[in-house]
Amino acid sequence: MFVPLHDGVPLRFMRTPYITYALVCVCIILQVVMALSSHGERDIAIMAGFGMIPSVLFGTAQLPESLLQAPVLLTLFTNILLHASFAHLVGNMLFLWVFGDNVEDAMGHLRFVLFFFICGLGGSVLHALMNPASEQPLIGASGAISGVIASYLMLYPQVRIWGLAFKWIPLHVPAMYALGGWILFQIVAAVFDPQGNVGWWAHLGGLATGAALTPFFIHRGVTLFGRVARG
C-alpha cells in the first residue's frame, strides 16, 4: 500500500481550500466525539444506524425500530463521515489532505463538495450492488476520497509525490505510478476479497464516479492529461 505525505502543487484559483479543511475537521470531530463517549453497544448502534447496510437498503433486512438511525437512503451519505477507528480515519484523511486541496482548486468550493459526496454515493451504491445481502455496515470516506484520487490523477499525472510504500519505504515518484499502483491494488483486492472487511467495491465505485465527473466539474481552461478539458 502507498501512503501519501506531500505533493507540493500550488493552488491556482483560490487561497484556501475551505471544503477540504472542513471535511477533514468534521471527520476528526465526529471520531473524537465517538471516542470520548465510547461504549460498546452505543458504538455498534451508531455504525448500524448511520452506516450503509446493503440488506437494509434493499429492504431484505430491517433494523430494530428502537435503534436511532438515519433514513435508509440518507445512509448512502452519512456513512461517508464515520470511521471504524483512528487508524482508519488517519489513512483516509492523509489522502484527502494531500490531494483534496488541488482538486478543490480545480473545481471551486461548491462543485468540489458536490463532487465529493456524489463520489461517496457512487461508492456506496456499487458496494451495495456487489454485496446486496450483506448485513455489515459500510462506513468511511474511502469511496468519496477514491473519487478525489481519480480526479487528481487525471489532473496531475506527472506530479511527483512524497509518500511511504508498505508504510515505511520512502518514495518520491510521479502520481501516475503511485496512484496507478494504488488503483491496481484496489481492483485486485476487490476481485480476490469481494466480501472482506474492507469496502473494495466502494473504492472502485468512487474511482469510477470521480473519473466520469471530473471533466464536467473542473474550471474552464483546467487541463486533463495536458489537454484542455472544457472550451
Neighbour count for residue 96 (Cβ, 10 Å):
23
State residue 37's pLDDT score.
75
Domain parsing of the chain, residue ranges: 2-228
Pick the CATH number of 2-228 from 3.30.1330.60, 1.10.3720.10, 1.20.1540.10, 1.10.20.10: 1.20.1540.10
pLDDT, one tens digit per residue, over 195-231 is 667 889 999 999 999 999 999 999 988 989 854 444 3
State residue 228's pLDDT score.
41
Query: pTM of the entire structure?
Result: 0.92
State residue 38's pLDDT score.
66
Low-confidence stretches of the chain (pLDDT beneath 70): 38-40, 68, 194-196, 226-231
Helix (H, G, I), strand (E, B) or coil at 3: strand
State residue 210's pLDDT score.
98
Q: What is the DSSP string of 101-127?
A: HHHHHHH-HHHHHHHHHHHHHHHHHHH
